[in-house]
């Protein structure tokens, strides 16, 4: 058995949508018009908090694949005014979101109890225009969304090895920036800033997916108590704290890249640790200088910088049956699965998708039933399934 990242093929049914002239496909797919189509053709459940559960039409896995999006497109028309991370979501919405996450992840673990047979992951990402607005293909809509996926380990073991130089696997070079020059201060900042009881730091060797060897170099935390701990609101507070710490680190670093000896950013979550751990660390400041100096002389490099925090945060289960949380910078283009060493090549093939569709829909409708039972929303009817 060879170990390393895997590339799998996933068929999908082509979407019969015409992209308006002059728009990039990803611009249209993030538009309000397309979100309306998503609701009518793929929507499963919606609630008064504007949380929409839907089938992934361009999915990563036909075993189990669904998403929740905080669809504020109808109530906040300014794309730059929409929440794009958990910390910006109103408290009552986040409370409902957490309960939906807990039920869906619990269902996945119940349906696929053997960690040697299935890889489970639930992740969220900022969908926002944090790279230069002049770049082609910048999403026209900013909204936070979750992914819930299951991959059969047999498929991954049988898949070909992925190219380790794939820019998505290497996070466009920005992940290596953190790990190559600031790994120690990055971890020290998290250790000193966060007071964790449910989550505990875990080594790379213990947190990896053994088959792929990923995630690589990312800080990881084991969830004490596994899936049952997701029923504890303390876990979700700590999950938020990890994101808050990441945002503080990212904002502080790139403020130093932008402006030499910049003051502490406004409204940081952990001001004492920012001042004492980050701004008094020579490696941290020297790395910011290295990036700033390159931005001055390399226009292409400077244009690729994500100046505002962009992240991907994961809950996943590895072969050792550990439920783990990790977080990473979000480079342009890298999919959430690639943090775990799974590269998904999606290909249009309606016939192949049709073979997998009945079993996939059965699972999605069952998890929808559980959400409705828990008063977390109302069913949506489409041409493929009824509302009740």
**Burial of residue 274 (number of CB atoms within 10 Å: 0-12, 13-18, 19+):** buried
Band (30; pLDDT cuts 50, 70, 90):
low
Band (184; pLDDT cuts 50, 70, 90):
confident
The predicted structure's pLDDT at residue 335: 73
Best-predicted range by mean pLDDT (48-62, 136-150, 302-316): 48-62
Mean pLDDT over the full length of the chain: 88
Q: Regarding predicted confidence, which is higher, 190 or 169? A: 190
239 φψ region: left (φ > 0), alpha (ψ -120 to 50), beta (else) = alpha
| pLDDT beyond 90 at 180 | no
Band (232; pLDDT cuts 50, 70, 90):
very high
The predicted structure's pLDDT at residue 286: 94
Band (177; pLDDT cuts 50, 70, 90):
low
The predicted structure's pLDDT at residue 131: 61
Best-predicted range by mean pLDDT (85-99, 103-117, 128-142, 166-180): 103-117
What number is the average pLDDT over the span 113-138?
Answer: 78
| 30-39, 64-73, 77-86, 198-207, range with the lowest pLDDT | 30-39
Q: Regarding predicted confidence, which is higher, 160 or 131? A: 160
Residue 101 to residue 239: CA distance in whole angstroms: 12
Band (172; pLDDT cuts 50, 70, 90):
very low
| pLDDT beyond 90 at 233 | yes
Q: Output phi, psi for 257, to 5 deg.
A: -65, -45
**Residue given tokens 């590269």 in the structure block:** 343
What number is the average pLDDT over the span 232-261?
Answer: 95
Band (334; pLDDT cuts 50, 70, 90):
low
Q: Regarding predicted confidence, which is higher, 24 or 139? A: 24
What number is the average pLDDT over the span 71-86?
Answer: 82
The predicted structure's pLDDT at residue 169: 77
Closest by Cα among 268, 263, 278, 261 to 189: 278
pLDDT digits (tens, 9 = 90+) for 95-122: 999 999 999 999 999 999 999 999 999 9
What number is the average pLDDT over the span 137-141?
Answer: 57
Band (372; pLDDT cuts 50, 70, 90):
very high
Residue 199 to residue 209: CA distance in whole angstroms: 19
Residue 306 to residue 287: CA distance in whole angstroms: 16
Residue 331 to residue 91: CA distance in whole angstroms: 28
The predicted structure's pLDDT at residue 263: 96
What number is the average pLDDT over the span 168-192?
Answer: 73
The predicted structure's pLDDT at residue 127: 65
Residue 82 to residue 72: CA distance in whole angstroms: 7
Between the CA of residue 244 and those of 103, 113, 240, what are the distances in Å?
24, 31, 6
| pLDDT beyond 70 at 141 | no
The predicted structure's pLDDT at residue 329: 78
Peptide bond into 67 cis (omega under 30): no
Band (218; pLDDT cuts 50, 70, 90):
confident
Residue 376 CB partners (closer than 8 Å, separation 6+): 45, 47, 96, 99, 100, 103
Supply the Cα-derived Rg of the chain in whole angstroms.
21
Residue 256 CB partners (closer than 8 Å, separation 6+): 262, 279, 284, 285, 288, 292
- The percentage of residues in the chain with a pLDDT greater than 90, rounded to a whole number, is 64
């Amino acid at each position: 058995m060879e170990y390393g990242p895997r590339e799998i093929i996933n068929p999908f049914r082509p979407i019969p949508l015409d992209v308006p002239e002059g728009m990039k496909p990803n611009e249209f797919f993030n538009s309000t018009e397309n979100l309306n189509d998503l609701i009518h053709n793929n929507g499963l459940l919606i609630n008064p908090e504007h949380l929409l559960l839907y089938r992934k039409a361009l999915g990563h896995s036909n075993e189990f694949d669904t998403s929740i999006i905080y669809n504020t497109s109808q109530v906040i028309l300014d794309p730059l005014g929409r929440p794009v991370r958990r910390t910006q979501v109103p408290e009552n919405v986040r409370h409902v979101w957490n309960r939906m996450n807990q039920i869906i992840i619990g269902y996945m673990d119940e349906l696929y109890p053997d960690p040697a047979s299935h890889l489970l992951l639930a992740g969220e990402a900022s969908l926002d225009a944090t790279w230069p607005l002049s770049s082609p293909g910048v999403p026209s809509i900013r909204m936070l969304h979750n992914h819930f996926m299951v991959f059969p380990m047999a498929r991954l073991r049988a898949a070909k090895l992925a190219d380790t130089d794939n820019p998505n696997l290497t996070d466009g070079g920005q992940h290596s920036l953190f790990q190559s020059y600031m790994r120690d201060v990055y971890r020290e900042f998290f250790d000193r800033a966060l007071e964790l009881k449910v989550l505990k730091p875990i080594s790379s060797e213990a947190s990896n997916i053994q088959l792929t060897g990923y995630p690589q170099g990312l800080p990881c935390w084991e969830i004490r108590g596994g899936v049952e701990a997701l029923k504890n609101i303390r876990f979700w507070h700590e999950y938020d704290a990890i994101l808050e710490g990441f945002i503080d680190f990212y904002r502080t670093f790139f403020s130093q890249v932008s402006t030499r000896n910049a003051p502490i950013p406004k409204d940081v979550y952990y001001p004492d640790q920012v001042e004492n751990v980050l701004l008094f660390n020579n490696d941290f400041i020297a790395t910011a200088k290295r990036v700033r100096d390159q931005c001055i002389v390399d226009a292409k490099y400077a244009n690729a910088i994500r100046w505002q925090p962009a992240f991907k945060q994961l809950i996943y289960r590895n072969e050792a049956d550990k439920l783990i949380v990790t977080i990473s910078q979000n480079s342009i283009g890298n999919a959430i699965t690639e943090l775990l060493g799974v590269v998904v090549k999606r290909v249009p093939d309606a016939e192949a998708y049709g073979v997998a569709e009945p079993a996939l829909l059965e699972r999605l409708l069952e998890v929808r039933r559980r959400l409705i039972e828990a008063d977390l929303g109302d069913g949506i009817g489409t041409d493929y399934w009824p509302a009740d």
